[in-house]
Structure 1
Amino acid sequence: MKLFRLQHLFFALLFPLLFIWLVPKFDPNSSLLSAAEKDKTVLIFEKKPCFGFCPVYKAQFFSNGKVEVKYTQPGQEPKTTHFRLKKDDVKSLVKRGEATGFFQMKDRYESLIPDFPARELTMYKISKPKKVTYTEGGSPEFESYLKDLAHLVESNLNVDFGPPKRD
């Protein structure tokens, strides 16, 4: 009887020690982490509302080429859609943004015009985000970059941001 209890005690102590020894060697999320790294957000471009019928959306560019856009048409609920770019196209968008001096820019560039549509651009450097809220006053290269981003997103959306249609 004592031998039986001693064996149970031995296994009761051995099992936790074995478990503690094996857990650090077993990483169940290793493949998930590599997939998550592939889908890393590299750029976010957002157009804010104005008093008229301005395009309103937030486009999130991922390193694997996927672009997720959350947009709102006038008088409607927000919607989400996706489109794809080539990975190299996303890389070149990021490099072009960096070339405008984005990481040296101020955080806000505002206009005195009350209904000037604001745009926000967030880029990542060593996994740290930097956001610039912009209406006007930056370099011509940065202004051109924002216009090209807006054209890229809006042409892939194929959405009418004008006044709501009446039936």
Structure 2
Amino acid sequence: MKTLTYIAAIALLSFSTACKDKEKVIETAVGVDTAKVDPTPVLPVAEELVEGMESNMDHPIPDSHKMGGGEKEDSLVFSIGRTPCFGTCKAYWINVYRSGYATFSGNSNVEKIGQHEGWVGQDTIIMLINEAYRIGFFEMEDVYDGPVTDLPSMAIQVVANDKDKKVTGRVGTPAKLKNFGKLADELLFPIPWKPVAPKN
């Protein structure tokens, strides 16, 4: 019995250290202090939002899911997209659904071009929703733009707690929104995306 307790304690310590190291990597990469990004729900109803989400990245993707949209009961909770520019800007669109099912559409200057799908962990979805509340996402303007046409834009949509907000930024985008986009990239790009065969 003592041996089992000892092994469990070592495993818990290793997991805790790995999580802290991951937070440091994200903080360094995107300039966001992830220690301030609380993984617990901001509001009690956030627990209902993520109840039943799949956190297993290797979970088989059910046939009921279709590219470009989830089923009615598997509604969109987060999306981020970036448009092309005359340079080497990444152009893509990511949709994340309630179950954790996600789609990636790579356009240009990204490693994965075309349609892909994968799974996002419950902890990642909660982190994105909480960060939206922390930066006042739902109180931001719908569009940040100006009379410049050759700059890329970024659009983020968050659906949580009976709120559905989409913000598009191209000119005069608040730093908080830019950092939110960087955090989303760091959390979602490493997902093991799998190519989707073209529909006949």
Give me the TM-score of the superposition, normalised by structure 1: 0.60
2:155 to 120, 125, 142: 120
- In 2, the alpha carbon distance for the partners of 1:73 and 1:137 equals 24
In the alignment, what sits opposite 1:19? none
Q: How do 1:72-91 and structure 2 match up within 5 A?
A: 72-73=107-108, 79-91=114-126
Structure number with greater Rg is 1
Give ranges in structure 1 of 5+ residues lacking alignment. 1-31, 159-167
User: What RMSD in Å do the two structures reach over aligned CA positions?
Assistant: 2.7
Give the CA deviation at 1:111: 5.2
1:129 to 147, 164, 175: 164
Which structure has the highest helix share of the two? 1
In the alignment, what sits opposite 1:52? 87
Give ranges in structure 2 of 5+ residues lacking alignment. 1-63, 65-70, 194-200
CA contact (8 A) 2:84 2:90 kept: yes
- In 2, the alpha carbon distance for the partners of 1:130 and 1:98 equals 11
Identity of aligned residues (%): 23
Give me the TM-score of the superposition, normalised by structure 2: 0.51
2:139 to 82, 100, 104: 104
Paired residue secondary structure (1:155) = coil
Matched to 1:103, the amino acid is F
Dislocated runs of 4+, deviation >6 Å: none
Give the CA deviation at 1:40: 1.7
CA contact (8 A) 1:63 1:91 kept: no
Residues 82-137 of structure 1 show CA distances to partners (whole Å, capped at 9, x for unaligned) of: 12221122122112112211111111112566533210011224555321111253
Against the structure 1 CA distance between its residues 55 and 153, is the aligned structure 2 distance closer, same or farther, given a 3 Å change threshold? farther
- In 2, the alpha carbon distance for the partners of 1:140 and 1:112 equals 20
Aligned length: 121
